[in-house]
Amino acid sequence: MTERVSFRCGRRLVTLLVALALQALSPGRVNAGPADGRELSPAQQLAIARAFAPTLVFHPEELYFPISAVGSTPTEGWAARVDQYRALPRPDKLSRAALAYRVFPRSDDRQAEIIVEYWCYYVFNAYTIHGGFLPYRVSDDHPNDLERLYLVLTPATDAWRDNEPADEGWARRTFSVTSVVANAHNGSIPANRYDARGGTAIAAPLAVLVELGSHAMAADIDGDGRFKPGVDSTNATKFPWGIRDDGDTWRWYRPGFMDARDATATRLCGPVANPEADAASCPHYALYPADGLQQWFERLELSTREREDMVGRTPWAVRMFGDARVEDLMAPTDAANGHEFNKLLRRRRTDGTGFSVGFTTVDYAPALVLARRSFWEVPSPHAPDILAEVAVIVPKGRRALMETTVWGSYSVDAITNVMFGFGWFSEARSTSPTIGAEIRLGRFRVRPNWRLKDGGFDARITTIF
C-alpha cells in the first residue's frame, strides 16, 4: 500500500512539473512594433541617440576605450589591430572614441516604449576573475569586447504627435528616460538595471560606470563614483554584479570590489555639449549607426580564413566552457527588434531553463540523463529561486529510471548554487528530501545530489539547450 501511494504521489508530481514547465515556456507578450502607431525616421533616431547619450566614467588605469570597428580591413589581423591601438597615446585613444547606436520602438502589455541601444566596442578585453566559493583564478583576456547599454524612453503623448524638427531639444521634450539596463557579463549574471520610481525620470546625461578591463557597465544615479545596490540598481536580484574591478565573483556585493571613480577617473561625454562638463576633462565620443556597421561588415564578404584572421577565433576551451564568442563581438548580426534586450532581462531564467542532456553515475555504471528543467527567479534578495526538473536516467544494461524534483536554489557566487528540495525517484519508488550543489562551467553543469531518506548519491554533468 505504501509503495502504491508513493507511486501515485510521484505521478501527480510529474504532472504538476510538466504543467509548470509548459507555463514557463509561455513568455509575456512583447511586441517590437511602432510605438503609438508611429515610425521613427533616421533623423529622429539620431536626435534621440544624441540627446540621451550617457557620460562614460572609466577607471584611471583603463587601457581600452570604445572605438568604431568600421574601417578595419581583412588584411589587418586582430593582433595587429590590438597592438596598434595599444601604441596610441591616451589622448589619441580618447579622440577616436565612438559608440554605435540604434533606436527602435517596443511595446508590452502596459505601454509603448522607445529603446535606445548603445554598442561599446573595445579592441581587447583584459580581465582576470577569481572564485568565491571555489578557489579558482582564470584569465578572461580576448580580442574584441562588446558591451550593450539600453535606455528605455517613455513618450509624452501630446509631444509624440508634434511635427517639430528632429533635434536634441525635440527629443528631450518628447521623451523621458524611465529605465537603464546595462550589460554586466554573459552567462547567468543579471544585467545592472535601474528603474525610475513613482513616475519620475532619470536626468540626462546619465553617468555610467565602466569596469576596469572587462567594461561591464552600471548606472551611477547619485553621481558619487561608486556602485551601490539599491541606489544605482533597483531590480530585486540575489546577485547584483555592479562593478567589480578586482574580478571577485562572490554573490554578496562589497564596496571594495571596485575603486572609486573620483577626479582621477577618465570621462567620455556624448556628442551634445554638456554645460557642466569641461571639454578638456570630458572629451566627446562620436556616434555612428549600428546598421551601418552591420552593412559594412556584410559587404566585406570574408572567407572563413579572412574572418578568422580579422576577428580572431575563440579557443576550444572557451568554446566548451565559456559564454562569449569573439567572432560575434566585432559586428553583431542581430536585428533592431528588442530580441537581445528581452534576452538580457530574462538572462537568469533563460540560462536555467531548457532541455538538458549528459551523464550521471547510478550505482555501478555511468548512465545517460535526459531532462527538462524550468527555473523561476523569485523576486526577493533572500528567498531561494525555484528549479523544477523531470529527468529520465538510462543506465547501461538496466531499465530506465525516472525522477522528478523541485529545488530551492541559492547562488553563492557567479558559478555555484547550493540546492535543497524534495523529489520522487522511481529507483526507490518513494519520495525523499534532497540536497546538492550545481557548478556552472559555461554551457555545462556539474551537480552532485544526495537523497537524504535512503542515502542515494549520484553526480552528473549536463549541458542545457
DSSP string, 72-84: --TTS-HHHHHHH
Residues shown for the chain: 465
Note the pLDDT tens digit of each residue in 279-288. Answer: 667 999 999 9
Strand partners of residue 369: 358, 393
Q: What is the pTM for the complete model shown? A: 0.88
Cβ atoms within 10 Å of 421's Cβ, excluding its own: 20
Give CA–CA dist 429/5, Å, rounded.
Answer: 10
Give yes or no for a cis peptide into 27 (omega within 30° of 0).
Answer: no
**How far apart, in Å, are the Cα atoms of 332 and each of 144, 149, 156, 183?**
11, 14, 32, 15
Indicate the pLDDT class of residue 10, thresholds 50, 70 and 90: very low
Determine the CATH number of domain 2-23+349-464.
2.40.160
Residues 69-86 have pLDDT tens digits of 898 777 778 999 999 999
The H-or-E segment that residue 137 falls in is: strand 137-139
Give the CA dihedral 42, 46, 48, 52, nearest 10 degrees: 160
pLDDT higher than 90, residue 434: yes
**Domain ranges across the chain:** 2-23+349-464, 29-345
- How does pLDDT run across 201-222, given as a tens digit for each residue? 999 999 999 999 999 999 999 9
Say which DSSP state 198 is in: T
H-only helix segments in 324-444: 339-345, 347-352
Tell me the percentage of the chain whose pLDDT exceeds 70.
85
199 burial (CB, 10 Å; 0-12 / 13-18 / 19+) is exposed
